[in-house]
Amino acid sequence: MPSRLLVSALLLLVAGVVMSDRRFDYPTFYLLQQMTALVSPAVWSAWSVLGLGLCAVLIAALASDDRMAPIASMLWTLVIAGIALQVFKRVWVLPRPLAVLPPESFRVIGLPLRAGSMPSGHAAMLAALACALAREAWRRRLPALALVVILLGAMGCVARVAVGVHWPSDVLVGAAVGLLGIVAGDAIDARWGLRRALSTSLGRRVFAVVQAVAAIVLLVMHTGYPLALAVQWALGVASVASAGWRWYRADHHRAPASPRVPA
């Protein structure tokens, strides 16, 4: 699995570098804008909100069972990919579409951003989240659900072009960074054991508090996408309830049994 993720990330990265040529980026941007115009702006606004790092972590928390696998993966990715994204944005400085294209030639939904285009942080978080959730679905022997999650993650990445704040190349490179964050996070977790720590009773209680605080922050946050308020509040309320249930269940779950070593 790590090798497949690594290859996928490198392919996305190469594709993003090639696509960054304006001869490819501009026409593809306009094409995706035309195609996504067939869908309600509220849908693309919702995906843009769900691509926030805070929301990605909360979604992973909702999907995590006693093993805490998806949330551990997302926490590592939030740190690793977050640093990588900031480095990319300072080294590979590109303007956003609104700074170089005629405003009347495409639509902007939500925040009218102009700088810091490459790469897309939302795409990084959504790609990492889709990977973490798909792996969990595969572990639970739900391959069809894993495929749906991957497709939804890809749709979320496209949303950043649909709302007019990123080039296609930004999205490809951002998705690559997200997958690389998962790979690096898995390698670090194998040594530091965040997943094991979170699966203990104390770890579950500590994370329940973190989850509740993050949910409250989301409920009062101004995301710049008013059309997604219903989704924002739904995720916030669900996360508060999940945090309460996690706290209650902290002393009512059995730790995963250690594998038996053959005699």
- Over the stretch 132-143, which tens digit does the pLDDT of each residue have? 999 999 988 999
Establish if 213 belongs to a structural domain: no
Residue % of the chain over a pLDDT of 90: 81
- Packing angle, helices 121-139 and 168-192, rounded to 10: 50
What does the pLDDT read at residue 1?
65
Establish if 258 belongs to a structural domain: no
Q: Is 91 exposed, middle or buried (0-12, 13-18, 19+ CB in 10 A)?
A: exposed
- Which of the four pLDDT bands, split at 50, 70 and 90, describes residue 260? very low
Establish if 218 belongs to a structural domain: no
Q: Is 90 exposed, middle or buried (0-12, 13-18, 19+ CB in 10 A)?
A: exposed
Q: How many distinct structural domains can be found in the chain?
A: 1
Q: Over the chain, what is the mean pLDDT?
A: 91
Q: Is the pLDDT of residue 258 over 80?
A: no
What does the pLDDT read at residue 34?
96
Establish if 165 belongs to a structural domain: yes
Establish if 233 belongs to a structural domain: no
Q: Is the pLDDT of residue 57 over 90?
A: yes
The separation between the first and the last C-alpha atoms of the chain, rounded to the nearest angstrom, is 29
Q: What is the mean pLDDT of residues 3-31?
A: 94
- 193: domain CATH number is 1.20.144
Establish if 86 belongs to a structural domain: yes
Establish if 239 belongs to a structural domain: no
Establish if 234 belongs to a structural domain: no
pLDDT digits (tens, 9 = 90+) for 63-120: 988 888 899 999 999 999 999 999 988 888 899 999 999 999 999 999 899 998 999 9
pLDDT digits (tens, 9 = 90+) for 66-79: 888 899 999 999 99
Detail the DSSP E strand segments found in 101-156.
none
Range of the domain at 169: 2-198
CA distances, 69 to each of 123, 148, 202 (Å): 21, 19, 16
What does the pLDDT read at residue 252?
66
Quick check: helix, strand or coil at residue 70? helix
